[in-house]
Structure formats: C-alpha cells, structure tokens
Amino acid sequence: MPLLASIFSGLLLALILRFPAISWLAVLTLVPLLIVLLRGGLSLKYALLFGWLTGLIGYGFHFSYVVSAIHIGVFLAALSYYTFYVGVFAVGVAFCGRRNIEYGSLIAPCLWTASEYIRAHILTGIQVGTLGATQAEALPVVQIISVTGIFGLSFILVFINVAVARLILLRRAGTPASTYGWGGAAAVMIAGILSYGYLSLWAPEPEADTLTIATVQGDIDERGMDQAAIRRQIFARYRTLTMRLNEIQPDLIIYPETMTGSYLAQDSLFLSFLADLGEQTSSRFLVGSRYLIRTADTYGLYNSVFLVDSAGHILGRYDKNRLAPFGEYTPLSGWFPSLASYRLAQAELTPGEKWAPLPVSAKALTGIGICYETMFNADIRQVIRQNTRLLAIISDDFWFQGTQESREFYNEGVLRAIENRTPMVRCANMGLSGIVDTHGRTISTPLPGAPGVTYGTVHLRTTISIYTQIGDILPWLSLALCVLLITWCALPRKQSNR
C-alpha cells in the first residue's frame, strides 16, 4: 500500500507538470503520499524511500526533454537533485508526524514551500517545476500570486492536500477532531482564492499609458547550416515578417534571443538593416545578440538584448545575468573540468552585472528577461521595482522543439506578469510568442511554433502589487516554522511519573 501510494502521487505529479488542462489535480497530487506519512508507524528510512520514489516518477517525466536537449548525464543530475528535496520533505513530515499528527500536518506545506525556495536559490538555482506554476493557465486560481508570489500558491496547494489526507484518515481510530478544522480552513482558502481571482479578472484595466508592441518569430533552425546560409535566411525572413507590421507602425518591435548570428555592436550591416526597417515602420527594436568585449585586460562574451532606435543607433544594452547551467556555462567547472563536455555552448558565457531596465520610450521603462531568467520570480521582481512598466522576455527555444517545455517557459512569463501586475511580451525564435496583460490575459494569441508576427496594445503598469512590495516573505516564514517544529519534535519527551 505505501509503495503504491507513493507511485500514485508520482504519477499525479507528472500529469499536472505536463498537462495544464488538468492542473486542478494539484489539490490531490500529494494526498496518497501524505496519507502514508501522516498515519504514523513509518520509519524515516522508508519515508525517504517513498518520497524519493514520488519525486523520481514525477520529475523523471517532467525533465525527460533534457535527455535530447542537453545530455542524459545532466538529466540524471537534475533528477537526483529534485528527488532529494521530495525525500527530505517526506522525512520531515514523517518525523514530526511521529510526535503528533498536527505537527506532521503543519510542517508539510511549510517544508514543501521552503524546499522549493531553497532549490531556487542555492547552487545554480533551479525554479523549474514548482507546484504553484502548474496553475499558470487557471487564471482565476493564479491571481492570488500577486499577493503571495508563486511559492505562496505552492503552500496553499499543499495545505489543501494535507486537509484532504486528514479527512480521509478520519476513518482511522485516534484521528483528532481537529481534522474538521483543517477541512474548514482549506475550504475558506479555496473560496478566498477563487473570489479574489474572479474579482480581479472582472475589474477593468485601469486608465494608463499604452504602448503598441509586436514580436517577430523567425522560426529559424540554425543547426546543420553554415554561417553564410544562416545570415541570408535571417535577413530574408525577418525583412518579410517585419514588413507585415508596416501598416501597424508599432512603437516597439521585438526580435528573439541571439537572432543576429553576429555581435550586433560590431555588425554595421545588421544595424543598417534595422535602420531600413525602422524607416518604414517608425519603430524601435529590442534585438537579441551576442556582445563581445576583448582587450588586453578584459574578456567577456555576453548574451545580450540591444535597444535600437529607428535610425539603427544602439541606445542601450542588457546582459543576461542568470545563465543556464550547461547551456551557457558549466557549473563547478573549476573543481570538475570534465563537466565542460556536457555544455551545449561552444564557449563559456559571461554573466551580466546588474538587473537594469531599458527605456524603450519616455513612458515605458522595460525590464528584460532572457530565456531561463523568466523562471526566477525574485530576479524579475528586482527589475520591476525599478519603476519598470513593461516586461519583455526573449528566447530561442530551439532546445525544446517538439516538447512541452516551450509552453512551460511561456507560462512562467505569464506568472511573472501576474505576480507584479505588469504586462508581458514574449518573443521566441521557435516556440511560443505572445502578449499578456497585467492579469495574464492574452492580448495577442501566441504563435504555434511557426514563422509569423504577433502584436497588440498594452496598458503599462500603474500599480505596485503586494508581492512586488513585500517579496517572498512566506517561504522565509515557512523555513522558520520548519526549524521550530523539527527542533521541538526532536526534544526528548518528558516521562510522566505514575
């Protein structure tokens, strides 16, 4: 029974991570595992085993794309890392549950939330696959993250799982009547979240400055092509697609990550190309390209976004701060040089030094996120707090061609928009491009992984969300409560004198 329960939780976890249409199952995903952990009598060794098995199945399916996109060794490393956290979660719940079912119940949402937060911030930091992110397409549910942040939604979902598990365990003798309190609290949470969500979605967008923006998705697969052929295709396709925007005259046109096939700052031909397009569209451009610094004393190779005016002049640059492990740099390469063989990029990239928005217009200071950076809500929040009124995300997504991951990365951008009540535009070379408003509602339908353009007018951010103001307080409170509960449960019990 315990083995089957952990397998069942793992399968449910795999399903909600993979298929957003059944995200409602997140309120039941951990119930089978929690029943095993909370009913008592389970050794910590078996708790670790069952938690590990749940994580192995759930995240094994989720990270399967890494095998083809990067390397099976990276897949095994990521899977081992994620399953470790689920194992620790199971041990913590079982340990506190042995002392008292209330302690086990209370530590479950706290420990899961704290684990997700720690995983996102230590070592390289990995924030893929949070439980809260499974709700990205359930807009009434996910509006609450403008208050709690994405980790807060994970807390709520695990709390509801605990309540359901406790109600199922009511049939067991000795289960305390406080279980009804857990059920009632979960019901209040659900009602509150849905009420807040629907009221937020029904409220009209506030009066604000607007900006007309467009994305150009080239859908160019550079693999197996020589550099000359790539350049010819880039110029031909992006000219054709951009000319579709001639009548629209957008304020800002966005091109994908590293799309120039060159170092834009030294590429006078491409800057002349942009000037020609700008003359016809009267638009400014955000362009993804490499940036190279090489002097006698300094070397840096950056993944950058350039702001270019309609005359082809570079007005500003953002350098990617959070590089993708094994995609753009090799973690722990100083200790283990052999790990470089797993890196996709031919050279190690240099991280940027600051999170700085770009002034795409006098009224629209724009925060930039490049690909992997979208996952990290604390980083994006840091950008938004600098009076940013629009979030622009660019990506390539060729790694994820034919997989679900491009949709997941797109949804992460939607989550960042909702958390910070800031409109978001995403432009990908291959994958999903689109525009959403401050509540995550689609303004322009995402392109289905094909060449094309998407455009729309957004109302720029006018308010500061509660999450933008306070940040991730809930994960820190969860971590503090975990320490207190584990310490309390570890103290020896006093023996009563009879």
pLDDT tens profile 360-369:
988 888 999 9
Q: Of 236-240, 400-404, 421-425, which gets the smallest average pLDDT?
A: 400-404
How large is the average pLDDT for residues 329-344?
61
pLDDT of residue 255: 95
* Predicted confidence (pLDDT) per residue in 130-142, tens digit: 999 999 999 999 9
pLDDT of residue 225: 74
Band (pLDDT 50/70/90 cuts) for residue 173 is low
Instruction: Find all residues with CB under 8 Å of 319, minimum gap 6, and list them.
Output: 291, 302, 303, 304, 350, 351, 352, 353
Residue 362, CA distances (Å) to 232, 388, 425 in order: 35, 12, 18
- Is the model's pLDDT at 185 over the cut of 70? yes
Residue 308, CB-side half-sphere exposure with 13 Å CA sphere: 29
What sign does the CA torsion over 199, 202, 207, 208 have?
A: positive
Other CB atoms closer than 10 Å to residue 301's CB: what's the count? 17
Using CB atoms within 10 Å of the CB of residue 83, give its burial: 0 to 12 exposed, 13 to 18 middle, 19+ buried. Answer: buried
pLDDT of residue 343: 54
pLDDT of residue 340: 58
Q: Which of 403, 405, 446, 440 is nearest to 426 (CA)?
A: 446
* Predicted confidence (pLDDT) per residue in 254-292, tens digit: 999 888 888 999 999 999 999 999 999 999 999 999 999
pLDDT of residue 68: 61
Q: Which residue has the higher pLDDT, 227 or 149?
A: 149
What's the chain's average pLDDT?
88
pLDDT of residue 226: 79
* Predicted confidence (pLDDT) per residue in 232-259, tens digit: 899 999 999 999 998 889 999 999 988 8
Interatomic CA distance for residues 454 and 444, integer angstroms: 6
Q: Which of 344, 420, 461 is nearest to 143 (CA)?
A: 420
- Radius of gyration over alpha carbons of the chain, in Å? 24
Give the helix/strand (H/E) hosting 118. Answer: helix 101-121
* Predicted confidence (pLDDT) per residue in 7-18, tens digit: 999 999 999 998
Could you tell me how many helices (H) and strands (E) the chain has, helices first? 15, 12
- Is the model's pLDDT at 345 over the cut of 70? no
Q: Are 482 and 107 in contact (CB under 8 A)?
A: yes
The order of strands in the sheet holding 284-294 is 314-319, 299-308, 284-294, 252-254, 210-217, 452-459
Residue 167, CA distances (Å) to 51, 105, 160 in order: 21, 12, 11
pLDDT of residue 40: 81
* Predicted confidence (pLDDT) per residue in 62-88, tens digit: 777 666 656 676 677 778 888 899 999
Q: Which of 306, 296, 333, 428 is nearest to 371 (CA)?
A: 428
pLDDT of residue 498: 47
- 226: which DSSP letter? -
How large is the average pLDDT for residues 96-110?
93
Interatomic CA distance for residues 151 and 116, integer angstroms: 7
